[in-house]
Amino acid sequence: MSLIAAIEDNHQEFIALRRDIHAHPELAFQENRTSDLVAERLAAWGIEVHRGLGKTGLVGVLRGSRLAATGKPRSIALRADMDALPMPEHNRFAHASQNPGRMHACGHDGHTAMLLGAAKYLAAHRDFDGIVNFIFQPAEEGGNAGARAMIEDGLFDKFPCDEIYGIHNMPGSAVGHFGFRKGPTMASSNRFDIIVRGTGGHAAQPHKAVDTIVIAAEMVGVLQTLISRHKNPIDVAVLSVTQIHAGDAYNVLPEETIIRGTVRTFSDKVLDDIEANLRRVAELLPQVHGGSGELKFHRAYPPLVNWDEQTDFAMKVAQDAFGAECVDGNTPMHGGAEDFSFYLKEVPGSYLFLGNGEGDGVHREDRYIGMGPCELHNPNYDFNDALLPIGSTYWVKLVGAFFNRSAAAAPA
Ligand SMILES: [Zn+2]
Ligand SMILES: [Zn+2]
Read off the CATH number of the domain in which 266 is found. 3.30.70.360
pLDDT digits (tens, 9 = 90+) for 79-96: 999 999 999 999 999 999
Same domain, 309 and 291: no
Q: How far is the CA of 82 from the centre of ligand 1 (A)?
A: 11
The residues placing their C-beta within 5 Å of ligand 2, an ion, are 106
Low-confidence ranges of the chain (pLDDT < 50): 412
| Ligand sitting nearest the alpha carbon of 356 | 2
List beta partners, residue 340: none
The Cα-based distances of 185 to 226, 305, 318 in angstroms read: 22, 6, 18
Task: Note whether 395 and 118 are within 8 A (CB).
Answer: yes
Question: How many CA atoms are closer than 13 Å to the CA of 264, on its beta-carbon side?
Answer: 15
Same domain, 236 and 145: no
Q: How far is the CA of 393 from the centre of ligand 1 (A)?
A: 23
Same domain, 172 and 153: yes
- Of 301, 326, 351, the one marking the end of a domain is 301
Q: Which residue range is the domain that position 219 belongs to?
A: 188-301
Question: What's residue 243's pLDDT?
Answer: 97
Same domain, 11 and 147: yes
Same domain, 153 and 48: yes
Question: What's residue 410's pLDDT?
Answer: 57
Question: What's residue 412's pLDDT?
Answer: 45
Same domain, 265 and 159: no
Q: How far is the CA of 179 from the centre of ligand 1 (A)?
A: 17
- Of 253, 268, 301, the one marking the end of a domain is 301
Q: How far is the CA of 324 from the centre of ligand 2 (A)?
A: 26
DSSP letter for each residue of 137-192: ES--GGG--HHHHHHHTTHHHHS--SEEEEEEEETTB-TT-EE---EEEE-EEEEE
Q: How far is the CA of 377 from the centre of ligand 1 (A)?
A: 6
Q: From 107, 57, 58, select the one nearest 85 (Cα to Cα).
A: 107
Same domain, 27 and 99: yes
Q: How far is the CA of 106 from the centre of ligand 1 (A)?
A: 4
Q: How far is the CA of 204 from the centre of ligand 2 (A)?
A: 52
Task: Note whether 111 and 81 are within 8 A (CB).
Answer: yes
For residue 352, the surrounding DSSP H or E stretch is: strand 349-355
Residue 197 φ/ψ, nearest 5 degrees: -110, 135
Same domain, 240 and 341: no
Report the number of distinct structural domains present in the chain: 2
Same domain, 327 and 343: yes
- Give residue 331's identity as a one-letter amino acid code: T
Length of the chain: 412
CATH value at residue 366: 3.40.630.10
| Ligand sitting nearest the alpha carbon of 383 | 2
pLDDT digits (tens, 9 = 90+) for 253-271: 999 999 999 999 999 999 9
- Of 260, 279, 301, the one marking the end of a domain is 301
DSSP letter for each residue of 328-344: ETTPPPBSS--THHHHH
3-state DSSP helix/strand/coil % of the chain, to nearest 5:
35, 25, 40
3-class SS string, 61-83: EEECCCCCCCCCCCEEEEEEECC
Same domain, 170 and 230: no
Q: How far is the CA of 351 from the centre of ligand 2 (A)?
A: 12
Q: How far is the CA of 193 from the centre of ligand 1 (A)?
A: 24
Same domain, 117 and 199: no
Same domain, 169 and 110: yes
